[in-house]
Amino acid sequence: MTTRPPTAPHPREVPVPLLNFRDPALTADSHRNRIRPGILFRSAQPFPAADQDTVRALLARDIRTIVDLRGGAERSDADWAAAEEAGIRVRWAPLDATAEMATIDPRSLRTADDLGRFYLTLAESSPGAVADAVTAVTAPGAALVHCAAGKDRTGLITALLLDLAGVPADGIADDYARTAEALPRIFSALAGAAGLGALNAKDAAANTGSVTAHGGQEIPPALLEAPAGAIRAFMDGIRTRHGGTERFLHGCGVDPAAIASFRSKAAPARESVPAAPSGL
């Protein structure tokens, strides 16, 4: 009896060893009529630095660009060294929230609407990073966008891109809220990587709902969640204060050609219509 070797998995079935990794098109656009799957991915940062298994999984999905939204103190050149050696472009577009966090009273950042307004402030205060991130995604091949947890900064950039593609608000909110499933594992990984000891222990502070990380900085309770209302509030702010995503991105310095390029790249493949017989 001849034993056949096991069938190798399809390249896209190779698991990606990154927390919170997903293709937002699969959740945000379930009917596949707004954005083509396989062109935009999102995740948390690598825990630890990306290895060859991670790189193989990314290349299997044709991911040729990684957009890193973390601040300088959060990242290391080693994080994506293996990816760069394999020819994947790593673009750093730091949406560093350090300055904004230093001016915020944690008690004022408690609700989904509060969180959405915080996202709006962060995007408005970092136009260059927003422009760099959106422009990088237009490069050939698929792109992976990430920050530390893959929730806040990644969430707002992903929301802008999905909106550019015409994805309805409900779909954008559904994709953002999916991160809630991964938050316990993300917070545990962040605690080990960066000494954020109590980050995953929200219930430890019964009076305020906040927690305190090592170093004494209080973590606002809203940052420990991923409520759909936060991204709705963010997108509402983009519309009311800037006239919509496209106008906001123009103001950030994104070239109109880059926006057109992303829309072309994201457009779902249309079924060809058979030509009518000649003479009819």
Query: pLDDT tens digits for 240-270?
Result: 999 999 999 999 999 999 999 999 999 997 6
Phi, psi dihedral angles at 149 (to 5 degrees): -90, -20
* CA angle 124–125–130, rounded 5-degree value: 65
Name every residue whose Cβ is closer than 8 Å to that of residue 89 and which is 6 or more positions away in sequence. Answer: 64, 65, 66, 136, 139
pLDDT value at 25 more than 90: yes
Instruction: Decide if 163 contacts 206 (C-beta within 8 A).
Output: no
C-alpha–C-alpha distance, residues 34 and 37, integer Å: 10
Residue of higher predicted confidence among 191 and 273: 191
Report how far apart, in Å, the C-alpha atoms of 261 and of each of 159, 218, 269 are: 17, 41, 15
Q: What is the pLDDT of residue 195?
A: 52
Q: What is the pLDDT of residue 30?
A: 79
